Structure 1
Amino acid sequence: MRVAIADDDSIVCSSLSTILEATGTADVAWTANAGADTVTRYEKDAPDVLLVDVQMPGMNGLEASELILTAHPDARILVLTTFADESYIAKALEIGTKGYLIKQDVSSVIPAVQAVMAGQVVMGAEVLNKLRTGVQPMATRTLLDADCNGLNEIPERFANLTEREREVLELVAEGLDNREIATKLFLSEGTVRNRISDILAKTNISNRTKLAVEWLSCQ
């Protein structure tokens, strides 16, 4: 696995590089300390996973991520930052990053990178707690289904899903990848992919990350 790191702090880049390479988790392809440089480097040498901080000089990490994802929708980008700001979380979900992790414990980066590489969505515990407890401000709420309203009932957006589709959705929200879902439900990976595509179409949700977050917000 090849990973790239974008962070305005060169010490953070160096520390993460050492951890990833020393543990045999990944080879670090390159590092960048500014948003514009991140976009340029990605175009020249796309890694398997990009770790990106939010606050960087000039173009911030989310703006850089949006440009990359617009050109490369399949890019695996994991936001790694010290800021649990709801507007940042909302933007990260909106543009389709693969997760949002708070820099509380550097050791959590390794399983997070591995999970993103495997196709899973990664949300830090602090982020999930905000989504589950319904304390999101309006900036985040606008990304979530207005029908949820904090009620323990199936919102209108998910009402037309079959029982099997809801089972698949629940496992997507738990962060399982297609292979794990297939194993758990005794389905083929192709069937799981088709089910998820059907769910996205029925709910009019654009990507797997938003799907997981919106479902969690209604629980």
Structure 2
Amino acid sequence: MKVLLIDDDKLVCSSLQIILSADPDIQVVGTGYHGRDGIELYRKLKPDVLLMDIRMEIMSGLEAGDKIISEFPEARILYLTTFLDDEYIIKALHIGAKGYMLKQNYESILPALKAVYAGQNVYGDEIITKLPDLIGKANDTKSLDQYGITEKEYEIITKIADGLSNKEISELMYLSEGTVRNNISTILEKLNLRDRTQIAIFYYKNMK
């Protein structure tokens, strides 16, 4: 199994390379230190599995992973990070990563790589407990992407669907009424709708 390592901490890269190279079934074919390295080295080396950090300088692992999977849909990416942020996990699910592990679980990295190589999806115990809720959130994110709606606009849509006025929305979201009105105009244009009632109907038909 050919593995590409991408992590902005050179000590982590070096340590992982030592750990993985001790297994006769694994060949570390390259290392890089930011997302752009990940894209360039993936194109060049075509690894079986890309083991990559998330938060890095120049380009994040999530941005790099999105570009890699768009170009190489068969890519197997396993994220290895210190961050348990819902936003990161949802994005990893959304782009099609094969796994998400925390760095402190060093003993699980090798089995996780082999599982991903075998075609399985692998998530650490801490992530698994979050998955039922996160999958719902991930589906919401796909809806937003599908309709070109931002998270703020989506929140306004849900509040319109709940029957709230512009004033009530502005108070709940700490926005001016003018900002709420502007966002509603943008939502109507993006969804090709006429009025607030149609926004509420659209939400219950397509986004609920």
Give the TM-score band, short-chain normalised: 0.5 to 0.7
Partner of residue 8, structure 1: 8
Q: Residues 135-158 of structure 1, C-alpha deviation per residue, up to 9 Å, x if partnerless? A: x5xxx643248xxxxxxxxxxxxx
Q: Where do 5+ consecutive residues of structure 2 fail to align?
A: 141-208
Q: Distance in 1 between matches of 2:24 and 2:16?
A: 12
Matches within 5 A, 1:49-198: 49-132=49-132, 134=133, 136=134, 141-144=136-139
Partner of residue 205, structure 1: none
The alignment yields a C-alpha RMSD, in angstroms, of: 1.7
Partner of residue 42, structure 2: 42
Q: Which has the higher contact order (CA 8 A, sep 6+)?
A: 1
Q: Where do 5+ consecutive residues of structure 1 fail to align?
A: 146-219
Aligned partner letter, 1:82: T
Contact 1:52 1:61 in 2 (8 A): yes
Q: Post-superposition shift, 1:105? A: 1.8
Q: Distance in 1 between matches of 2:18 and 2:108?
A: 14
Contact 1:4 1:31 in 2 (8 A): yes
Q: Post-superposition shift, 1:53? A: 0.3
State the SS of the aligned residue for 2:12: helix
State the SS of the aligned residue for 2:138: coil
Aligned partner letter, 1:93: L
State the SS of the aligned residue for 1:57: coil
Q: Post-superposition shift, 1:114? A: 0.3
Q: Distance in 2 between matches of 1:64 and 1:90?
A: 15
Determine which structure has more spread, i.e. the larger CA radius of gyration: 2
TM-score by length of 2: 0.65
Aligned length: 141
TM-score by length of 1: 0.61
Once the two structures are aligned, what percentage of the paired residues are identical?
49
Structure 1 stretches (4+) deviating beyond 2 angstroms? none
